[in-house]
């Protein structure tokens, strides 16, 4: 194939030799550069410097089965984030998270600044678990939903479990359906359990919580949990569950006191 008509002088200068002397590897590299230099927009107003708004990037492919160098396309990070954003908007959490984000979490007091910082850190780098426990009206759910939003925008897939209603549904399921529901929660890339043990801590509740959390503990899967109970209070419900949460959330464990001056729900009165 005559490549001369496709290659400009700057590209010719890169290899410092005539096109017909290029190796298969050099031709492959030129094809990659040529694709990656193309813009997805027609007016030079692209936002992503990596893919220039095409949504994908050309990369070399190592394949021992072929006798010549190959290349292919992979999704750009900007596309992954856009897909995640679309998934968020269309999910059951879309309307909730739209208002409960990091920007709308108020930091009027020092304690709010500190807990928000922990949430921001976890949203960027979800190592271990994130636990917020304690008194009502402190913004626990807001903080967790905001963290979930950050994770989704960073390409993570998050499953949401509203403990009080979902655990009752699971308990009412037939065995094969129950196992499927638990499998989804145990294997989710990220799981958010909202209001763990709210109003009910039956033996069946504890068994389900342990099955989910013990699996995620063993697999070290990112998990976000909010509860009206501190870890010390959780120990009185089930020590095994409390110890697993405590160990995994060591760096992101938030305890909210019963100080009535911290009840942000009362500030509108």
Q: Which CATH architecture has domain 81-266?
A: 3-Layer(aba) Sandwich (3.40)
Beta bridge partners of 228: none
pTM of the model: 0.65
What b/e readout covers 196-218, taking b as 16+ CB neighbours within 10 angstroms?
bbbeebeeebbebbeebbeebbe
CB of 109 closer than 8 Å to CB of 262: yes
Beta bridge partners of 161: 193
CB of 119 closer than 8 Å to CB of 240: no
pLDDT at 140: 83
Q: Which residue has the tokens 């759910």?
A: 141
Q: What is the pLDDT of residues 148-181, one digit of tens each?
A: 888 887 878 888 888 988 899 999 988 888 998 9
Q: What is the pLDDT of residues 220-268, one digit of tens each?
A: 999 999 999 999 999 999 999 999 999 999 989 888 876 645 544 333 2
Each domain of the chain, given as residue ranges in start order, spans: 4-75, 81-266
Q: How far is residue 210's CA from residue 16's CA, in Å, rounded to a whole number?
A: 65
Q: How far is residue 64's CA from residue 80's CA, in Å, rounded to a whole number?
A: 29
- Cα separation values, 91 from 34, 46, 86, 174, 176, Å: 38, 28, 9, 26, 25
pLDDT at 267: 38
Structural tokens at position 42: 């027609």
pLDDT at 269: 28
What is the end-to-end Cα distance of the chain in Å, rounded? 77
Q: How far is residue 134's CA from residue 122's CA, in Å, rounded to a whole number?
A: 19
Q: How far is residue 269's CA from residue 263's CA, in Å, rounded to a whole number?
A: 11
């Amino acid at each position: 194939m005559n490549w001369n008509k496709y290659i400009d002088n700057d590209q010719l200068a890169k290899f410092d030799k005539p096109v017909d002397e290029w190796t298969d590897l050099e031709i492959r590299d030129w094809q990659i550069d040529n694709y990656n230099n193309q813009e997805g927009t027609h007016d030079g107003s692209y936002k992503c410097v990596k893919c220039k708004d095409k949504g994908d990037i050309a990369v070399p492919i190592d394949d021992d089965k072929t006798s010549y160098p190959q290349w292919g396309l992979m999704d750009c990070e900007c596309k992954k984030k856009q897909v995640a954003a679309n998934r968020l908007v269309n999910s059951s959490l879309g309307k909730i998270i739209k208002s409960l984000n990091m920007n709308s979490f108020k930091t009027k007091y020092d304690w709010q600044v500190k807990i928000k910082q922990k949430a921001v850190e976890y949203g960027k780098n979800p190592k271990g678990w994130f636990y917020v426990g304690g008194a009502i009206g402190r913004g626990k759910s807001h903080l967790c939903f905001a963290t979930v939003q950050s994770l989704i925008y960073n390409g993570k897939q998050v499953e949401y479990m509203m403990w009080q209603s979902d655990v009752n549904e699971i308990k009412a399921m037939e065995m094969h359906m129950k196992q499927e529901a638990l499998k989804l929660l145990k294997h989710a890339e990220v799981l958010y359990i909202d209001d763990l043990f709210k109003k009910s801590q039956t033996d069946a509740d504890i068994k389900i919580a342990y099955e989910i959390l013990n699996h995620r503990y063993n697999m070290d899967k990112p998990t976000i949990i909010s509860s009206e109970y501190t870890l010390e209070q959780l120990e009185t419900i089930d020590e095994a569950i409390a110890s697993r949460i405590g160990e995994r959330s060591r760096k992101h464990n938030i305890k909210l006191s019963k100080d009535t001056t911290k009840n942000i729900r009362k500030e509108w009165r």
